[in-house]
Amino acid sequence: MTAATELRLLKDIDEPGLDTIEVYERRGGYSALRTALTELDPDEVLEQIQAGDVRGRGGAGFAMGKKASFIPKGDMDKYLVCNADESEPGAFKDRVLMQKNPHLLIEGCIIAARAIEANHGFIYIRGEYELQADVVERAVRAAYERGYLGADILDSGFDFELVVHRGAGAYICGEEMALLDSLDGKRGNPRLKPPFPANAGLYQGPTLLNNVETLCNVPIIIELGPEEYVKVGSEQSKGTKVVSVSGNVQRPGNYEVPLGVTCREIIYGLAGGPPEGREVKCFFPGGSSAPVLTGDEGLDLTYDFETMAQAGSMLGSGSVIVVDDSQPLVPLALRLADFYRHESCGKCVPCREGTNWTVKMLERVESGEATPMDFELLAQVQSNILGNCLCVLGDSMAMPIGSMLEKFRAEFEQHAEEARARNEAAVVEQAAPELAAAPLTGPA
Amino acid sequence: MADGSRSNGSTRRDLPLVADRMVGLDRQIASGHPAVAAGWDMPVDLDKDPAVIPQLADVEVPEDLKREIEWRMSLYPDPRSAVLPALKAAQRVHGWLSTDAMRQVAAVMKVTPAYLSSIASFYDMLHEDPVGRHYVYVCTSVSCHLVNAKAVYDAIAAAAKKARLEGWDIREFECLGACDMQPMASIDGRYVGPLDPSDAPELVAAIKEGRTPLPGRGLEDEDYMPAGAGDPPPHEETQ
C-alpha cells in the first residue's frame, strides 16, 4: 500500500480562503450537516458515527461512537466539548485543521451535538494559539450568520450554541477532567474518575468530550456514509490519521495517512528521513508521552493503534518525533522530564514528586555526579509513578523516560562516566597541573 | 500523653495541639526549616471577617473592561466559566494582574480576589507579577530541542540584552504546537520559524523599531513556505 491515498481531512487544505464560509460551502461544506439535521433523527446520526468506528484521535484511541452512546438520553442539559488544547510536544495537527479548515470542525461539533442532543458546545483552545482561536471565532460568527448555529438550525428545531473558550497556558488542561474543571472556572486539576464526563462532566451534566481531529471526522462519516468510511484503514483502526512529523527529519509537517502504513513510509517516504548521512536512532510514535521505539524495532511496524500498543508504545496523538544518531539522549531526556515537571499540576504525589526527582537525577547524570545506584533509582521512580495518579501526566513522563533508560541504559551510563571523568580531570588540572600533564601510572 | 500534659511546655493549653506526636518539630522550626506552614495548629478564627467580594460601587472599573467581562459571562451557563477570558482582558488593560486589576475583575464577576488569585497562579499566561507587555516565547521543547532551539533562545536573549530591549518578556516556552517550523518562536502570538541563531539580531532590531520581525517567515504570512516545501512530499504530487 502506498501513501498516495485520497485525502479526507486535509483534502482542500491548500485552497485559499477555505477558512471562509463561502469557499467551504462551495467545496461541499455543511451538506453533511444538512443531511444530519433534515434527513436523519439523532439516533440515526449516532448509529452512523458508531458504524464509522472512528477512534479518538486525541491520544487514548477510545471509539468515539461508543463514548457518545454513553451519554444518557433525556432532556437534561447536555454539553459537547471540543478539546483543542493541543499542547503535547510534537503535536501540531489540530493547529493546522483549525487554522485552515475551521468550518469542518464547527460542522463536526454541530453534528456530534445533534447525535447526543446537546444544546451547548465549547471549543477549548489553548491560549498560545491566538491566531487559530481568532480564525475559529470568526468562523463561528459566520456560521451563526448563516443559521448553522443558534436557534432552530435549518428549520429542524435543533438549537445549538457554540462558544470558543481560550485557555491560558497549561498542558494539564488537555486532560479531560482538568479541561472540564478549567472550563468550569477552576484551576485545571484532574478529578477522580468515575464519574466519567458522560455522566457528570461540565457543570455536572452529561458531556461528550472529543479531540479536534475526531470531530473533524464526523462530517466525513456522514458525507461518505459509514460503509465507505471504514474502507480505509486497518482492521481495528479505521479511517485516516493526520500524522505530525518533527524532530530530525528533512520535511517536518502534517501528513494524512491511512492507518496501517509502515512507520518507515511515514518517516522516510513522507518526511524525507533524517538529515543526509544520519540514521534513525529512535522515535516517539505518539508524541513525547509515548515510549520510544528504536529505529531497528520500530521502522517496519505498521502505524495503527494495536501494533503500536503491542510494540510497547502507543499511537497517542499521532505525532512522530524522530531522533537521529547524532543526538545525545541524556539532554533530551532531561528536557522531556523538565517539561512534565513544569506542567505537573501537583495534585497527586507520585507525579509531583516523581517528575521533580527525575529531573534532579537526570541533572546528576548530565553533570557526572550520578552513581550507579541512581540509574536503578531512576527506573524505580518511573515504575512508581505509572498508574498511581488521577491522570496520565505522570505516566506520560514515566513511559518515555523508562523506555529510554531500558533501551539505552549503556548510553546513559557512558554519559555519566564521561562527565565524571571530565570533572575529575578538571579538578586535577586545577589542583596539581603537573599531575595532569603526566598522569600517574598505577602499580602494575 | 493520655492526661493531656504537654511535653513541649506550650502555654496555649486551651488550643488543640497535636504536635506532641511529631518528635523534634520544635527543633526543626528553630533551625529555620519549618516542617509545616506557620499557624497550622491554630484553630480557625471564627471572629475574623470572611473574605469580601468588592462592591462594584467601590471599585473603579474601566467601562470597556467591564463591558467585555460582562459579555463573556453572558456566554456561559455558569458565569464563573468566564474567569480566564476575564482575567486575560484585565491583563490586556493593566499589563499584568495587579491588586487593582484583580479587584476590578472580582467586582464585576462577584467573586473574591483570592479566588481569582488561585486561578491566576495556576496558568502560565496569567501574570501576578509585572512583566513586559509584549512577549517573545522561544519554544525549546522536545522537537525544537532536537534542532538546537536552545542556541536560538540564547542568541535572542543575548541580542535583546545587548540592544537594551525594554517592556518585552523573553523566555523559553514549552511546545507551542508548531514543530513543522522548528525551531520557532511566538512573538505576541505571531509564529515565526524556522529560526537560526543568526536571525536573532535582526529579530530584536525589528522588535525595537516596531517593524514586523522576519517578514515572510510568519505562519500567517501569505508567502510563508514551510520547511522542505520546495520538495513536495509524494502524496501531494499524486493528487
Q: Tell me: the pLDDT tens digits for A150-175?
A: 999 999 999 999 999 999 989 999 99
Cβ neighbourhood burial of A146 (10 Å; 0-12, 13-18, 19+): middle
Q: What is the pLDDT of residue A442?
A: 59
Nearest CA in chain B to A325: B146
Q: What is the pLDDT of residue A367?
A: 93
Beta-strand ranges (E) seen in A238-384 are 240-247, 253-258, 280-284, 293-294, 319-324
CA distance B177 to B77: 30
Count of helix runs (H) and strand runs (E) in chain B? 9, 4
Angle between helices A329-343 and A393-407 (to 10 degrees): 170
Angle (nearest 5°) at CA B150 between B141 and A129 = 40
Decide if B93 touches A, using CB distance below 8 A: no
The Cβ of residue B36 has, within 10 Å, a number of other Cβ atoms equal to: 12
Average pLDDT of the segment spanning A265-269: 94
Of A88, A257, A327, the CB nearest to B146: A327
Q: What is the length of chain B?
A: 239
DSSP structural state of residue A233 = B
Instruction: Name the residue among A120, A110, A135 with its Cα closest to residue A49.
Output: A110
Q: Are A358 and A337 in contact (CB under 8 A)?
A: yes
Q: Please answer yes or no on whether A130 and B189 come within 8 Å at the CB atom.
A: yes
pLDDT digits (tens, 9 = 90+) for A228-239: 999 988 888 888
CA distance A65 to A50: 4
Cβ neighbourhood burial of B3 (10 Å; 0-12, 13-18, 19+): exposed
Task: Give the residues of chain B that fall short of pLDDT 70.
Answer: 1-39, 222-239
Q: What is the pLDDT of residue A220?
A: 94
Interface of A with B in 326-385 (CB under 8 A): 327, 331-332, 335-336, 339, 342-343, 345
Contacts of A250 in chain B (CB under 8 A): 228, 231
- Sheet with A293-294: list strands edge to edge: A253-258, A240-247, A319-324, A280-284, A293-294
The mean pLDDT value of chain A amounts to 92
Rounded to the nearest 5°, which phi and psi values hold at A81? -125, 130
Residue A360 clears pLDDT 80, i.e. is over it? yes
Contacts of A5 in chain B (CB under 8 A): 235
Decide if B222 touches A, using CB distance below 8 A: no
Q: Are A298 and A263 in contact (CB under 8 A)?
A: yes
Q: Please answer yes or no on whether A256 and B235 come within 8 Å at the CB atom.
A: yes
Q: What is the pLDDT of residue A171?
A: 92
Of A54-63, A239-248, A347-356, A408-417, the one with minimum mean pLDDT is A54-63
DSSP for A204-218?
GS-EEEEEHHHHHHH
Q: What is the pLDDT of residue B220?
A: 78
Rounded to the nearest 5°, which phi and psi values hold at A127? -60, -30
Dig out the grid coordinates for A23 from the structure. Answer: 469557499
Q: What is the pLDDT of residue B56?
A: 93
CA distance A303 to A265: 9
Nearest CA in chain B to A92: B177
ipTM of the complex: 0.89
